[in-house]
A and B are shown apart, each in its own frame.
Chain A
Amino acid sequence: MSVKKKFKGLSDKAVGWLFIGPTVLLLLAINIYPLVYAIKMSFTNFYANKIGREPQFVGLKNYIKVLNKEAIWEKMQVTASFMFWTLLLQAIIGLGLALLLNRKFKGNELLTTLIVLPMMLSPAVVGVFWTYLYNPQVGLFNYVVNFFYDLGSFDMIGSSILAPWAIVIVDTWMWTPFTMLICLAGLRSVPNYLYEAAEVDRASKWQQFIYITLPSVLPFLLLALLFRGIENFKMFDMVVELTSGGPGSATELASINLKREAFEKWKTGYSSAFAVILFVTIFGFGNVYVKVMNKIKER
């Protein structure tokens, strides 16, 4: 036990609770309570638009329905391939840019700021203005593509083959700077003496890259991908405004489907079950990923 100090005013313990209390209470009220509520609803046949009808307990029926629905697995596949391509592209381009920026040339900081701009913008608004760039008649994107390689008329948003790539391109444009920044932080944290020692040992530049640079930046890259992975699993706003899940359901990510079930069809019970499944999926994958990441870090 530490010696109790005599100071004026409230005790440290009281101040501590006073300071933490409001935050914890707010999180409980606006975050945890709704989550518990959603879990409760997921076992009922509740419809939020039918006020006055008592919801009935239906057990695991909603969960069974969600997991047996083929359409849900299609959405999961769409989400998975969206995540795979965005994370892959953002890892490669982001790391590449970070390696280049780490050479500390003149104007470095200003260029970093300019490159970072897209990730500061509102995803929904970004989605809207890309519909203009992708417009098959007048879009700048189509014009530039045709300028370099004549494809004729093509519709990035209207074609079910191209639309998944349309959202991958926009997400990559927007969020590559994030991976870049975190990788850059990783590169700057590598102590110089490692390279000095390698030079003394006559290691080639390539060997230095493989044995020093890559291992030290890898944990940072993995962390960036974890954040991006969580965000893209929840992806809603940009894609809703860009393709609204279409054409058909070619870009209907899990969150978009969830919104349709919850706020258009008002199947509260069913959509709550789906939400809980999504939530458990993020948590599960996130946990496994963090464990793997920590193992890599330990090596």
Chain B
Amino acid sequence: MTYFRTAKVIKEKGGKYVSIEVEVNGECVVKNARITGDFFAYPPEAVDNIEKYLAGKKVTPSLIEDMQTLVNNVVLAGVSRDRFQNLLTSALEEVMKACRKSATK
């Protein structure tokens, strides 16, 4: 089974460190999504919910769109919501592209 994995990190000046790792299988289904760092989020479980929501789902444009709603439920500190959203979206887009490339081979 082919796997793709990507990891994206940001650290804004004066802000906190955020790392987003996404791992999918050959069917482009998320095996693991991990959001880590020293940022603050309220409620913290809202970030856990993003990871749980992604697990087991195929990465599609519609799934990426769903992230907007989930991220809007989180109050973040140490990273702006836009930067957090962009990081998450770019990680998912990267694995989606890798999946498409592999499918056309």
Do A and B associate with each other? no
Residue positions of A touching B, CB distance < 8 A = none
